[in-house]
Structure 1
Amino acid sequence: MIRKNVHKTLLSFFLILCICHKTVAQTAEQKTIPLSVLLNKISNKHKIFFTYNVNLLSGKYIQEEGFKDLSLEESISLLEKLTPFVIDDLGNNYYVIYNKKDVKKLKANKKKTDVINPKSSINNDFKEQKIRVKGIVLSSDNTPLTGATLLEQSSLVGVTTNQDGIFEFETLKNNLVTVSFLGHESKKLKLIANKFHTITLLAGQELEEVQIVGSRNKNRVANDSPVAIDFIDIEKTASKNSQVEINQFLQYVIPSFNATKQSGADGADHIDPATIRGLGPDQTLVLINGKRRHQASLVNLYGTRGRGNSGTDLNTIPISAIKRIELLRDGASAQYGSDAIAGVLNIVLKDSDNELNVGSTVGFYNADTENILPNKTDGFIYKLALNYGTKINKGGFVNITAEALSSDKTFRKGTEIRENYGQAGISNVSLFLNSEIPIHKNAKFYANGGFNYKNTEAFAFTRKAESERNVLEIYPDGFNPLITSQILDNSFSFGLITSFNDWNIDANNTFGRNNFHYNIKNTLNATLVENSPTDFDAGGHQLIQNTTSIDFSKYFLKDKYGFNIALGLEHRLDKYKIFAGEEASYKSYDVNGNSIDSDTQFSEYQMLNGVIRPGGSQGFPGYAIENEVDRDRSNFGVYADTEVDFSKKFMIAAALRYEYYSDFGSTLNYKLASRVKITNKLSARTSFSTGFRAPSLAQIYYNLTFTNFIGNVATESLLVANNSAIARRFNIDKLKEEKAKNFSLGFTSKLGSNFNMAIDAYYVAIKDRIILSGNFDASSLGVDIDNVQFFANGVNTRTTGVDLVLNWQKKLTKGTLSFDFAGNINHMVIEEINNRMLAEEIFFGKREQQFLLASAPKNKFNFGVNYQLKKITAALKITRFSEVKLIDWQIAKDLANYNNSVSQRLAAATDTYKAKVITDLHLGYQLNKTLNLQVGANNLFNVYPTEQDTFTDSGGKWDATQMGSNGAFYYLKFNINL
């Protein structure tokens, strides 16, 4: 035996010397390949199978040359010499690979036990109770995995499954067993006697597709879901993308997602509204790690998509804290409650441990709107992000992200009424946490949350020098008010996950707050004339939301089918506030410096050239004491859903949810969905559901007196709270919930290991959509207000469309090439305007209708080409934006200016933004194992929307459409992984 081992050692030594000789002699021709690729070649050559944890060989490379002419025994011997792995022959041509460190630890523990008690190893054989376990190992498509390995953790004794994926063996009671298969994710399980175990392993390509959103079945993955789900791996996608905020990032990744930087839209300049399939910003539910995320306190009002809605500020969540984003493109109110009419966006936070990542981005815009190459630049962006993960307890982790972002203002072509047109400046600081801590063998505590502070600046419309809104002694040449804000957004979610009698239990509490505080600078209160301050605290608003929930789920496996049952309860409390600013930010004063009231004589009003000077801070008037609101409401929800797998080819899902709101009553919604596997490569899926969205507290109680620019004329307007007596005088009803019906039909196909396709058609009908009305004459109110506006359940809409996704990837002789194509075709129709006795053109006229329709672009297509060669990556992406039409303020001008023709006025007022195509280019270089450098350009050829005249809603030459009006963006990024 000793002689045989010596011969093996000498043979291995000789082989190593031969390979070393070749290495020295042929250095220029050396090539290293992934170790997993070499194992596949050895497996094919010798007709054997290797099994191992899919993560074990990650990042491991080896030279192929020395293995070409070796026998199987010689190859395995050499692999064990050159790698940190042990290769164990399990019989039946199966070999299992595991780390040498695991073997050493096992031997050390065994040796230590033997020293303490030499008889312990003998006694344990008799004292430890052995059990017999059996079951089947399947892939995610329910295909039996032949040759999957099951290893006892304490002894490393293993067994493999037979050709039907079946296993049966003896193991120690309470011993953990590792189940693994080549190219699949491994699992550690405690197997029990007298039960047939069904174990599902995810393939390597599916590891990023573990489904959280849209299903409470722990065994469900994306490729067998009955509804459309997009999975965006942030680390992979962000490395080919210039965007530094989530909204703009998703704008170029998901065609049905639209978010354009606003300008001249008051609060929306500071919190970007986003839409899916053209529905409202508040009709998409946002989750963090599967739990409801709070909305912003801002309600979008003027010159912006989603006017009248309150969305979630996605940009408060740093990209560097996100592992992946899951977008469920289907109605889900029956599963998740209010706001899920358009779908659900689930943000999964990073959970890595033992890793430090440092990333930085520096970039700027081409400020020259006429030329491809920049003659001047602006909008400089600086971003620094740190993400660190560490282990805690056994199997736990804490992951922390800190990010700082600074984005300067941009300046583009303005008009007479708005000289400083461009994107707002933003300073943004974020700190996020994600953690899990095992506290028992079948229980873990989890917590996540974050803090975000945003300081912003945006220019309002110009106040001319010779105007009642200006004081020449302060601003001889007129002025451009600056709207600034301090936005504080924080959240914290914690819970406990455990199991009892195979029921999974998740108890959670999530708290969120968004506080938006205005400060108006470079302005004045014209009624204070030369004594006016130039900075004002204008007050603001706040939304607090607290959600408490408990969820139960269990999968039942029968002889011929299986089914999952999920049940849950949820209680939510919403609190909404409007808080007043300083008095001078909203008051008007007379010639004596006293605040104007009902007793003030007309002769005492501050006037200029016979026109009364308006009070309050110009640019954005402060919230007054009369505007203050402190309201809350609660709601309680209960749901049940189930998924039944009748066979490998057919499943159905159903959900039912009841919710009761303290302010408007109850609602009951349901959902049915199904998936049919037509062939091994083609599946069909369909769903039908009802949905709802409760009116937000802001839509019910928001009120403000403000200056509205209608065309070139500044007018004083009052936005009336929906619950006020004034709203009833104008025949505006109390707000009720929006109701929806969703239907979808789609097909998915995996035409090969390299090619995936999905196409989904959808239909969404929404009744009683909440809108912001047009401007009604306020003269009958007898106050110094020109117009009044309201929130109302104003319209019924129908949206139909198609989403298409194609992915192809191929490993070439040199490098890897992939193509990605995604598109959305969308069509929205306003079926009915619920104006009652009110004039339709004022209640929701052509202009307001077109703003709503423009939120649903007719189509958007993305095409990307990606190539990777060793350390170099290159990505080219082309995005086509469809034509958009808006109606500008000429619609309010006198017909006499248009030959008394309504059609001519409408034609003159219609702003057409022609279809545009932009190109993004990205290059990356992996300098070494720790440092990655990237450089590129978004909108490489400096394409802008079609230029308009001086009547746009934004006050510039463009409204916020398509790719926005910032032009080309050039950037440099680096990432350090330690």
Structure 2
Amino acid sequence: MLLFSTRKVITTLLLLIIAYSAVIAQQLTGRVYENQTGKPLIGAQVTVEGLDVSAPTRRDGRYSIPVSRGEYFVRVTMPGYVTYRTLIRFGVVDYQLNISMRVSSDLTQEETEVGTRDANTRTYTDTPVAIDNLKIEQFADAFGQLDLSQLLHFVLPSFNSNRQSGSDGADHVDPSVLRGLGQDQVLVLINGKRKHQASLIYLFGTTGRGNTPTDLNTIPVAAIDRVEILRDGASAQYGSDAIAGVINIVLKSSTNGLKVNTNHSITDQGDGFSQNYSLHYGKALKNDGFFDVTADYMGRGRLYRPSYSAYSEVPRAKFGDAKVNSYSVYFNTEAPFNRQKKLFFYAFGGIQSRGTDANSWTYEADNERNIKAIYPNGFEPRILSQIWDGTFSVGVKTKTNNAWNFDINNTFGQNQMHYTVANTLNASLGANSPRSFDAGGFGLLQNVTGAHLTRKFRNGLRTTHVALGTELRVEDYYVFAGEEASWKKYPNAADLPGGAQTFPGYRPDNEVNAVRTNLGAYADLETDLTRSLLATFATRFERYSDFGNALNAKVSFRLKVNETFALRGSASTGFRAPSLAQSHFSSIFNDVVDGASFEKVLAANNSSITRALGVQPLKQETAINASAGAVFKPNTNFSLTVDGYYVSVKNRILLTGDFSEDDPDLAKYLKPLDVKSALFFTNALSTQSYGVDIVGTAFSEIGEKGKLETMFSMNYNHLSLGKINTTASLAGKEEYYFSERDQSYVLYAAPKYKFNLTFALQQPKFNANLRFIGFSKIDIKSHGQDDQGNYISNIYNARVISDASVGFLLKKGTRLIIGCSNLLGTYTNNHNPNESETGGMYESVQMGYVGRSFFGKLRFNF
């Protein structure tokens, strides 16, 4: 009886195991092949979304993935082919799915939307100009950067972004440059629509001094599907600011349910603790529509890299990164109006609230700006900013094959920064001074309304794409004053200085509300002149209400020499309108040089000071761009692109150096303001730059289910400065107008060369990544001068850093990634902090001063 019971139990258990295996252990199998030739595709990545499991195809194009019962999307990606995606319902038996892939020669698995009006077929290596197309999730999962500007800095050699320290607003908005040009010489789009700039303008000796940036970090990485970077002048296609190129941020449009991401990192010094949590939800709507939304929190702790004890007196006891807390919500949606799916409604946008807290310069106890009754041991002010950024875009478009398609859109955006200065004082108020002040701030609103028409004409194997459009852009820039005690000097017997020390508030005299309008119209033609030669022609006219007209043109080509090799090139003119901030911003602020603190005035372009000195109203920057390159793609597993470029920019708008009260031409204007020096914006000089970009990718099969991707990219960039454009009244004062030290920040906005070598190993349940990033030597001039009056160089020698990570699929839909950034703990060279712009041992160059850090990430798919 006992034996019978035991057998019955064992039999029952075996039957249960078999039944359970039938439910959870069935296989998704099939073959992936090219649609034109039928040949198997090796190394195509087949992913079951929601389960977060994937496998590459083998030499015969076949694949096999264990799955569980349910409904999932299957996605197949392959460099050089258009991504395939379909919905599959898994039952209790194996499922076979054979997939035909359409050729597109896209190295990054997605079609591009910038650089060509034929967004449906032109891709990375098909385009006549250089384009980077980065699948953000691939790099966000593999490495430790949490915000977009830093992620791109360590992925793209032609893109550079360094966190600043001790540079007022630059501590809160990271400067970013493309091909070594200015922050405001690259246009940023979201889903192909113009994004507004930040309201900040950089004032100190930092990368981009005098520039108005676009804050890339206002968009959470978790909301981004991919980033397309057009490395070519594109003013004739997209308008102002596109001298260096275009960055298009494409938001996610998934339909695969809920995803939860958690990210944490900390340095080996135990500081700079960062944490990031995001919820991402995608839902399918009727008739191929979708709704996608992301909620994100990112917090970064303070990071200190104090100076060595060898320096007895240091200008900053707490040199390092600011504390940051940001909250973001972004969405993206599209839906057809009917079942015919020809007329679509779409909308996207989001908001971010970001609070930052940065340490400033140290004030010793005996400093004339200190009140010992308040701070007996001196004090270290903190500059806090509250940044609010939002954008909302809505439109209607059609999708037809044999008629004109239209896209009518309105995009609104706003950026505002509001400052508070804490742990400081107004010395002129004595012991009764408050310790915290509302310092005021500034903002920018932008509204763009556009109408766009496109059509494809076919003539056999040749196609022609025509695009016409017009846009009306309205911008409003404003400055609002801080509380009176933040900027005012009150009468006092000791004649102590007024205002919040380290950051005086904006005064009522600084308040401005400037509005301008811009009307633009463009025409774009892209055609196959022959089966091997693609040519494009574009022109754009813009009229600004405040400075005049701009007309630009562009031509480009792609010549297919054979099936594996192509030549491409372009020539264009470009322009950048002066930002409203450059035209209207003014301020009296505090600076520290060689340990001495003093006030200086930044005079508006239309002020009495600039008019008395003969400074002309700002005019547009103009540019000439030329590029030539080659594409080599012998098979689906290897590709190489080499693109050389030349960019000449005339009348670059920059912030001058300081003109002192010692100059009799200025003294009468500075004395009533109680300041020591003045500076202003002007069309300072012309620049020429040339360089080359190299991008190579190779794939190889590892075992039966593994794939190794090897990526190499490099940028070499040389920038030279032309003659300084002084006014007649300032002739002979070029050293003050734009000193050799200020010039070094323009010349080294990017390293002379930078390279990235990345190895990415992918297995169904395991992946590993290793990369090396190299930076050239950089020469930043210090405050110190030698006996001949030449600025002393702070040399930052060439450096190579390495990052690594490993990832594990723990169970259904759950993945763990752990890694290390800067494995060897490499730092830039250190220098005397009294002679640096930052007041620390390091400038914000190369890979920065963070050192080694460790990170861990968890991904949950529901």
TM-score w.r.t. the length of structure 1 is: 0.77
Per the alignment, residue 835 of structure 1 pairs with: 726
Of the structure 1 ranges 928-937 and 406-415, higher mean CA displacement relative to structure 2 is found in 406-415
Work out the CA distance in 1 between the residues paired with 2:45 and 2:660.
69
Query: In the alignment, which residue of structure 2 is the partner of 1:962?
Result: 846
Per the TM alignment, residue 563 of structure 1 is displaced from its structure 2 partner at its CA by 0.7
Residues 828 and 856 of structure 1 are in contact (CA less than 8 Å); yes or no, is this contact kept in structure 2? no
Tell me, in whole angstroms, the C-alpha distance in 1 between the residues paired with 2:741 and 2:54. 65
Distance 1:264 1:434, change over 3 A: same
**Corresponding residue SS for 1:496:** strand
| 1:446 maps to which of 308, 331, 346 | 346
Cα distance in 2 for partners of 1:560, 1:316 equals: 44
- In 2 relative to 1, CA 475–61 (structure 1 residues): closer, same or farther, beyond 3 Å? closer
Amino acid at match of 2:692: V
- Report how far residue 968 of structure 1 moved: 1.0
Q: Give the length in aligned residue pairs.
A: 794
Contact 2:588 2:599 in 1 (8 A): yes
Per-residue CA deviation, residues 887-940 of structure 1 (Å, 9 max, x unaligned), is: 11114xxxxxx44x23xx43xx21000011111011111112310000001111
Query: Where does residue 848 of structure 1 map in the other structure?
Result: 742
Does residue 705 of structure 1 match 2:699? no
Q: Of residues 661, 675, 678 in structure 2, which corresponds to 1:788? A: 678
Contact residue 79 and residue 106 of structure 2 kept, 8 A: no
Task: Tell me which residue corresponds to 2:536.
Answer: 653
1:292 offset after TM fit, Å?
0.2
Counterpart AA for 2:703: T
Match in the other structure for 2:415: 514
| Match status 1:732 vs 2:615 | yes
Q: Which of 701, 707, 713 lines up with 1:811 in the alignment?
A: 701
Q: 5 Å matches for 1:525-924?
A: 525-559=426-460, 561-591=462-492, 606-607=493-494, 612-778=495-661, 779-781=667-669, 782-783=671-672, 784-814=674-704, 815-837=706-728, 838=730, 839-891=733-785, 898-899=786-787, 901-902=788-789, 905-906=790-791, 909-924=792-807
Identity value in percent: 40
Match of 2:356 among 456, 464, 480: 456
Matches within 5 A, 1:287-436: 287-367=189-269, 377-414=270-307, 416-436=314-334
Give the letter for the 1:400 counterpart: V
| Structure 2 residues without counterparts, runs of 5 or longer | 1-13, 85-96, 308-312, 662-666
CA 1:63–1:960 in 2, change beyond 3 Å: closer, same or farther?
closer
1:819-843: CA deviation from partner (whole Å, max 9, x where unpaired): 1111000100002211233211000
Distance 2:299 2:217 in 1: 13
Choose 1 or 2 for highest CA Rg.
1
Name 1:279's counterpart in structure 2. 181
Q: Residue type of the partner of 2:629?
A: G
Which deviates more, 289-298 or 862-871?
862-871
The structure in which a higher percent of residues are strand is: 2
Q: Distance in 1 between matches of 2:69 and 2:780?
A: 65
**Structure 1 residues 181, 503: closer, same or farther in 2, change over 3 A?**
farther
CA distance in 2, matches of 1:142, 1:423: 42
TM-aligned CA distance change 1:418 to 1:330, over 3 Å: same
- Output the amino acid matched with 1:638: A
Tell me by how many angstroms 1:663 deviates: 0.2
Distance 1:301 1:272 in 2: 13
Tell me which residue corresponds to 1:35. Answer: 29
Please report how far the alpha carbon of residue 391 of structure 1 lies from its aligned counterpart in structure 2 after TM superposition.
2.1
Q: CA deviation at 1:34?
A: 6.3
The equivalent residue for 1:598 is none
- Matched AA of 1:323: D
- Supply the AA of the counterpart residue of 1:788: A
| Further displaced range: 573-582 or 854-863 | 854-863
Paired with 2:541 and 2:295, the residues of 1 have a C-alpha distance of 39
Corresponding position of 2:855: 971
Q: Is the Cα contact below 8 Å between 2:52 and 2:814 reproduced in 1?
A: no
CA distance in 2, matches of 1:244, 1:514: 21
What is the CA–CA distance in structure 1 between the aligned matches of 2:286 and 2:434, rounded to whole Å?
58
Q: Give the aligned residue type for 1:841.
A: E
Tell me the C-alpha RMSD between the 2 structures.
3.1
CA deviation after TM superposition for structure 1 residue 240, in Å: 1.0
Q: Deviations over 1:510-558 (max 9, x none)?
A: 0000010000000100000101000100000000000000100001011
Is 1:927 equivalent to 2:825 in the alignment?
no
Contact 1:264–1:303 (CA<8 Å) still a contact in 2? Answer: no
Q: 2:772 is matched by which residue type in structure 1?
A: I
CA distance in 2, matches of 1:303, 1:355: 47
> Partners of 2:321 and 2:68 in 1: how far apart?
55
Give the match for residue 105 of structure 1. none
User: d(CA) in 2 for partners of 1:280 and 1:725?
Assistant: 28
Cα 1:923–1:62 shift into 2, 3 Å: closer
Identify the structure with the greater helix proportion.
1
2:5 is matched with none
Match of 1:497 among 367, 384, 397: 397
Return closer, same or farther for 1:35/1:942 CA change in 2, 3 Å cut-off.
Answer: same
Residue type matched to 1:579 in 2?
A: F
1:56 and 1:888 mapped to 2: Cα distance?
53
Separation of aligned partners in 2, 1:798 and 1:63: 48
Give the deviation of 1:941 after TM superposition: 1.1
Shift of 1:708: 1.1
Looking at structure 1, the residues matched to 563 and 80 of structure 2 have their Cα atoms a distance apart, in angstroms, of 9
The alpha-carbon deviation at position 203 of structure 1 amounts to: 5.3
Q: What CA distance in whole angstroms lies between the structure 1 residues aligned with 2:330 and 2:680?
A: 38
Aligned runs of 1:76-91 on 2, under 5 Å?
none
For residues 799 and 940 of structure 1, the distance between their equivalents in structure 2, rounded to whole angstroms, comes to 34
Rounded Cα–Cα distance in structure 1 between residues aligned with 2:618 and 2:45: 54
The answer on 1:465 being equivalent to 2:365 is yes
Q: Contact (CA 8 Å) 1:265, 1:304: kept in 2 or not?
A: yes
Q: Which amino acid aligns with 1:35?
A: T
Distance 1:559 1:361 in 2: 52
**Change over 3 Å in CA distance of 1:140–1:932 after alignment to 2:** closer
Distance across 1 between alignment mates of 2:488 and 2:737: 29
Q: Output one character per residue of 1:204-239: Cα deviation in whole Å (capped at 9) or x when no partner.
A: 967833121111123322221000000100122222
- Unaligned residue ranges in structure 1 (runs of 5+): 1-19, 69-74, 86-98, 102-138, 149-179, 185-200, 368-376, 592-605, 892-897
**8 Å Cα contact 2:47/2:55 also seen in 1:** no
Alignment of 1:938 onto 2:829: no
The residue identity in structure 2 corresponding to 1:384 is: Y
1:793 deviation in Å? Answer: 0.3
Q: Distance in 2 between matches of 1:473 and 1:429?
A: 39
Spell out, residue by residue over 1:62-109, the C-alpha distance to the aligned partner (whole angstroms, 9 max, x if none): 999xxx9xxxxxx9xxx9xx9999xxxxxxxxxxxxx999xxxxxxxx
Note closer, same or farther for the CA distance 1:535–1:752 as it changes in structure 2 (3 Å cut): same
Check if 1:488 corresponds to 2:391: no
Deviates more, 1:206-215 or 1:283-292: 206-215
Q: Which amino acid counterpart does residue 851 of structure 1 have in structure 2?
A: Y
Amino acid at match of 1:809: F
User: For 1:190-339, what aligned pairs fall within 5 Å after superposition?
Assistant: 201-202=102-103, 208-217=109-118, 218-339=120-241
Letter in 2 for 1:708: D
**8 A contact 2:80–2:109 mirrored in 1:** no
Contact 1:140 1:221 in 2 (8 A): no
In the TM superposition, residue 303 of structure 1 has moved relative to its aligned partner by 2.8
Residues in 2 aligned to 1:492 and 1:296: alpha-carbon distance in whole angstroms = 16
